[in-house]
Structures are given as C-alpha cells and as structure tokens.
Structure 1
Amino acid sequence: MEHRALGSQGLTVSTQGLGCMGMTAFYGATDETESLATIDRALELGVTLLDTAESYGPFANERLVGKALTGRRDAAVIATKTGIEITDDGQPVALNGRPEYVRRALDRSLRHLGTDHIDLYYLHRIDPQVPIEETVGALSELVAEGKVRYIGLCEASERTIRRAHAVHPVTAVQSEYSLFERGIEHDGVLDALRELGIGLVAYSPLGRGFLSGAISSPDDFAEDDWRRTDPRFQGRNFDRNLDVVHEVRRIAAAKNVTPSQLALAWVQHQGAVAIPGTKRRRYLEENLAATGVTLTADDIASIEAVAPHGAVTGDRYAPELMAMLGG
C-alpha cells in the first residue's frame, strides 16, 4: 500500500482509507464479527485511515473502531467527526458548532474510541448559527492540548474553508466526490483546496454503491437501507443513472478491472484519498486492488466522455439533508 501526504500539515495516510459507517448504520443489516474482521484485514493490507463519526450509530461506530484497535492504537489514523449534536443517550438534536459542544463531544469520542487523541477531527456539518471562526477556534485549542492532531471540515463551501483556514490550518476537507458527484470541481472548493494545500478526502467514491455495478434495481436494497430515500435511486433517476453505470462498466471491462476499481482509480487519479465504505472483506479487497490501477490519458478521456459533470440526475440527498450541505 502506498501512502501520501494528506494536506500540507504533516499528516500521511494510506492512498485509500476505509469508511466504517455502514458497519453500524444506514446500509441494512450489520455483523460485528465480519466488520471487525474487515477492519483487521484492512490494517493487514496497509490501510491506515479509518473514518468514523459520533453520529454513526450514534456512538456504535466509534465503539466498533475502538474495539478493533484495542492493543494497536498506533496502527491507524483515526478520523472522527463532531458538529451534529447527539445527546448522551444517543438522540440526534441539531447542528451544533458551539465551542462547548465541540469540547464535550470530543471527550465523549475519546472514551468511545478508547484513545487519548484523535488524529483527524472533522466538523461534520457547518452550523449556520455559529461563526466558523468560533468553532475552529475551539478545535485549535484541542490541538494545542494534544487531544487532536489535525482538523478538518466536511461538506464546506469555498468561503467557509478559507475563513476556517485563516484561524487554524485545515488539513483535510471531506466531500462527496466520484464519477457520480463532481460538484466541487465547479463551485470553487477543489480550487481552494489546491491553492491552500488542503487534502481532499472523497466519501461515497462509488456513488453509494451505484458505481459498483452490483445494483440493478431499487429492490436490491433492504427495507431499512436509507438509499431507498436517495433521489438518485428513485424512479426515472435510477434508470438514467444506471445508463451511466453501464458505460462505466463497459470501459472497466475493456481494461480488465471491475467498475468499482475503475471508479476508485479515477478518484485516486484526481489526487484525492478515497474512503469507500464496506462491511465485508471481499469488497474491501476488491476496492484496495484499485490502488494498483493506472489510468492512461485515453482512459481518462473515455471516462470523461461517459461521466462528465452533470451526467447523473437527481439530488444526492433528500431535501432536509441537502439543506445541511455547503455551509
């Protein structure tokens, strides 16, 4: 496994990380034994970046990651998130970027993860009621105290990124980025990251599984799979987006790789660190094989022809969740 600098503040991570969210929430049935085995296999294969959040569960995901790292904390770069207020009994409340909540949530995450520091601490969503300078000021204090090593933002606008970075260096911004979602190429975010030396962590690099080529119908999802509410998986949007997947699959077959590997190789080619989520070892191993895929100029041109910005139809979240993006 190759490693690369994430941002310009000194953090180095594996070229591909592991998104752990689905191991405890949102994507149907879970299996702790297989999830722990998947994390174990990821570490064995050289993955260092494990991505979690207090809201995944809530709390269950952080506890799972902490359990997986018992006795080997230094084997992983732990990335977790705050900013979506959760009560101590696990009830979500609202966005909360107030310094006092950030501090309280950080201490709680440390307990759940069984560690004395977080390597990369993200603001999960931007609270419009709290100036970003105040929230980042609190994160900066946590760095000074040694509880956090590096800070990051998720789904932030160009303006917010610049304001935050002026208070304390932002190491990484996590945004949805894939052949299905290329908005940051056109709203100033990607340009700002490159200018400021901030790393890009791409979540949902497989379009929430669409780009794996394994989904042929919305009925493929379990009843409790949240993708049933995702506009891109509904009605005519699903059919149109499936046409894009068929084209990606065609290019992948010509290159003798899977659609997932092609899609992940494309994200890697853009300089991002992808964190595909999986809860099974077999998919983990398929995804990690993408780090060995090299795309030629002709490959990139072929991909651009079938999956340009705007090729996918439908919003990427339901309206209430779309309202939390780009703060």
Structure 2
Amino acid sequence: MSLSRKPLTMVCGKEVGPVGFGLLGMTKPWAPVEYPVAIKVMKAALEQGANLWNGGIHYGTPEANSLHLLKYYFEQYPEDASKVVISIKGCFTFDNGPDGSPEGIRAAVEEAVRVLGGTKTIDVFELARVDPKVPIETSVKAMAELVKEGKIGGIGLSEVSATTIRKVQAIHPISAVEIEMSLFTPDPLRNGISDTCHELGIPMVAYTPVGRGLLTGAFRTHDDLPKDGFWRTLPRFQPEAFDQNIKLVQAVEQIAKRKGVTTGQVAIGWVVAVGAIPIPGTTRLERAIENTKAASLTDEDLAEIQKIIDTLPICGERYGGWMEKYNNA
C-alpha cells in the first residue's frame, strides 16, 4: 500500500505550488532582516513556484509585522499581486492568547486591510488559534460576513482538531487548514486531521516542516543553538530532549546522502508526500531556492522514514506552558 497522498493545492480557487513560503522569520523577535533583503528572498521563492505565502499579524509588532513587509513587497513588485496567494493569521497575541469574538475578528481584518493599503487582497484570513471563550460557530459566522463584504477571500483555521474542522465546514467552506507537521510532528496523520481535510477537500498547510531548523542540520549539538534564540524556550530543544531528537535527524541524513539531496529537502519532501503544502521560512536566498526543490520520495523511502519515526520517538512537547492547550483545539 502506498504511503503517499497527493496534496490539495487549490486555495481560494487559485492553484498554488507544492511548497509555499513562511514569513515568520522575517520579523522581530525571530530573525529580523531589512526589507530590501527580505523581498529578494521572497522574490526568489516566488520565481521557484512558491506562491502561497503565510504570515501573521502577530509576527512582529503593530508597526512592523508580516503585513508591512507584504505591502513593501507589492509596492516594489505590483505585478506579483495576482501571482501570490497570501494567508494571514490573526486574532492572537502572545500576551493575551486568542480573540475569536466577532468584534476582535472584524478589528483584526480591517487593520490588516488598512496596512496592506490596497497593494494586495487577503486571500485567506486564519484564526491563529481557537478561542475557548467563544463558540467556534460564532467566530466562523463573523468571518463569513467578512467574506461576503469582500474584505477577505476565504476562511482559514490554524491548530484545529478534526471535530472543529467538520463543525466549521458545515457552516462555511474552509479555504485552508494550517497545522504543524514535520518528521518531528506527524500527529495530523494519526489524529484524524489529515484524513478529514482530504475527505472534505480542504488544503492542509504545514508550518515548521523542517522542525524549526533542526531537520536542516543547522544544529549538531545543543551548544549550536543561538544563546538568546526562541529555540531555547521550547521543550524539544532542552538539553536532554535535544540529545534524543537529534537521533532522528542523523537517521534522515543517511537517506539524504543516498539520494544526493539535503536533509531539509527530505523533510520537506516527506510533508509533500503525505499530502500537505509545507511553508518553510528562511532569510537566506539560497535556502529559499533549496526549500522549493523538495526531495522526491519513493514508497520504499517513505517506509524507511516511517520506521525511523516509529523507532525514534520525539522527546518534549511542541510548545509547553500555556500555549500547549491551544494545539489541535
């Protein structure tokens, strides 16, 4: 039996490439780069076919986030506005968590539209997390009104369960579901999310497909992690967890060497092969090009990778702390 599944790549009626591009690392506090440098990387990704771009209002500050970068890009390259499908997460802050109220959703969308200033329409607006204080039906109906008004092209969801996906789809078509998926986080293949999305014809977008950089081989030991980086706050990057988790990277490296590709390309190729659209992010032009060239994996490769996943369990929660409760809600 084949372990592969063709990704669904029609988002809001537009065909997107098998690999997209994530804007998270382009803004503070992650890995800020100057806009002229950033847009060169974005342009290179687009030229390689990565035309699904994913950002967030909370990726940065109110004065400098994904939307400001996108506005700058489309001011320089207005001809690309029709080529790119953008998906923007909102209604979430790291201080207060999610806000799925109709008022909060409308305010977020109107602010996003204001910042873009007519340079690009919002193809998909995503709830970054489900708000436990607001029924998901209420949130979705508010988003559906914004679709009717033409402020957004479609509704997206992030970190939702299969049950939530079915509830929402019964109210309004879902344009995309964003989940964390990588060789470190194959959970959507086990918890019904992947099966539900494919059954209902909903594209599945996978963030952190290279395990926040660990699957690129950028970090060989715990000491390689930046001293003040985000990584050191995450359970999977603590010293005792890191030593276990790097074993999976080393096993995948052997497949990459045999195929003449990078470990990151195998990791991204696996996400494509199991039926999702990976959205790796980078600030480096050469890495942006590399990421679009996902490794082509045979059924034998996939079976070997599955054995690695089964025999080298990942140590540590994805986020830990208060963020963990919003996963797959």
TM above 0.5, yes or no, is yes
1:40 equivalent among 32, 39, 43: 43
3-state DSSP of counterpart to 2:212: coil
2:263 equivalent among 244, 250, 259: 259
Structure 1 position 190 matched with structure 2 position 197: no
- Sort the Cα spacing of 1:294 and 1:17 in 2 relative to 1 into closer, same or farther, 3 A: same
Structure 1 position 17 matched with structure 2 position 25: no
| CA–CA separation in structure 2 for the residues paired with 1:194 and 1:138 | 25
1:280 equivalent among 273, 284, 293: 284
Displacement of 1:217 after TM fit? 2.4
Q: 8 Å contact 1:261–1:287 — kept in the other structure?
A: yes
Aligned to 1:102: 105
Displacement of 1:83 after TM fit? 2.1
3-state DSSP of counterpart to 1:74: coil
Displacement of 1:6 after TM fit? 3.2
| 2:27 maps to amino acid | T
1:66 equivalent among 68, 71, 96: 71
Displacement of 1:168 after TM fit? 0.3
Detail structure 1 runs of 4+ shifted over 6 Å in the superposition: none
Deviations 1:263-313 (A, max 9, x none): 1111111121110011110111111121xx321111111111112387211
Aligned to 2:3: none
Displacement of 1:243 after TM fit? 0.8
Deviations 1:165-193 (A, max 9, x none): 11101121100001110111222211211
| CA–CA separation in structure 2 for the residues paired with 1:29 and 1:57 | 9
Aligned to 2:212: 208
User: How many residues in Structure 1 have an aligned counterpart in Structure 2?
Assistant: 318
- What is the percentage of aligned positions where both structures have the same residue? 37
Structure 1 position 84 matched with structure 2 position 87: no
Aligned CA RMSD, in angstroms, stands at 2.0
Q: 8 Å contact 2:7–2:275 — kept in the other structure?
A: no
- Sort the Cα spacing of 1:259 and 1:196 in 2 relative to 1 into closer, same or farther, 3 A: same
| CA–CA separation in structure 1 for the residues paired with 2:29 and 2:163 | 31
Displacement of 1:23 after TM fit? 0.6
- Tell which deviates more after alignment, 51-60 or 69-78: 69-78
Displacement of 1:29 after TM fit? 4.8
| 2:71 maps to amino acid | G
Deviations 1:106-151 (A, max 9, x none): 0111122233631011110000010111110011111111111111
| CA–CA separation in structure 2 for the residues paired with 1:66 and 1:263 | 31
Aligned to 1:88: none
Q: 8 Å contact 1:4–1:14 — kept in the other structure?
A: no
Gap regions ≥5 residues in structure 1: 86-90
3-state DSSP of counterpart to 1:14: coil
| 2:320 maps to amino acid | A
Displacement of 1:43 after TM fit? 2.0
Displacement of 1:9 after TM fit? 5.9
Displacement of 1:257 after TM fit? 0.7
| CA–CA separation in structure 1 for the residues paired with 2:179 and 2:12 | 19
Which has the bigger relative contact order, CA under 8 A and spacing at least 6? 2
Q: 8 Å contact 1:6–1:172 — kept in the other structure?
A: no
| CA–CA separation in structure 1 for the residues paired with 2:327 and 2:7 | 27
Deviations 1:232-270 (A, max 9, x none): 111211001111100000111011110001111111111
Deviations 1:179-236 (A, max 9, x none): 1101112222112112211110000000111110121123323333211111111121
- Sort the Cα spacing of 1:151 and 1:216 in 2 relative to 1 into closer, same or farther, 3 A: same
Aligned to 2:310: 308
| CA–CA separation in structure 1 for the residues paired with 2:29 and 2:315 | 22
1:57 equivalent among 51, 56, 60: 60
3-state DSSP of counterpart to 1:152: strand
Q: 8 Å contact 2:30–2:230 — kept in the other structure?
A: yes
Gap regions ≥5 residues in structure 2: 1-5
| CA–CA separation in structure 2 for the residues paired with 1:197 and 1:172 | 9
Aligned to 2:323: 321
| 1:74 maps to amino acid | S
| CA–CA separation in structure 1 for the residues paired with 2:177 and 2:289 | 26
Deviations 1:7-32 (A, max 9, x none): 68634211111001101034345343
Q: 8 Å contact 1:180–1:312 — kept in the other structure?
A: yes
| CA–CA separation in structure 1 for the residues paired with 2:312 and 2:113 | 40
3-state DSSP of counterpart to 1:151: strand
3-state DSSP of counterpart to 1:40: helix
The TM-score normalised by the length of structure 2 is 0.91
Aligned to 2:300: 298
| CA–CA separation in structure 1 for the residues paired with 2:184 and 2:31 | 22
The TM-score normalised by the length of structure 1 is 0.92
Aligned to 1:127: 131
| CA–CA separation in structure 2 for the residues paired with 1:152 and 1:267 | 19
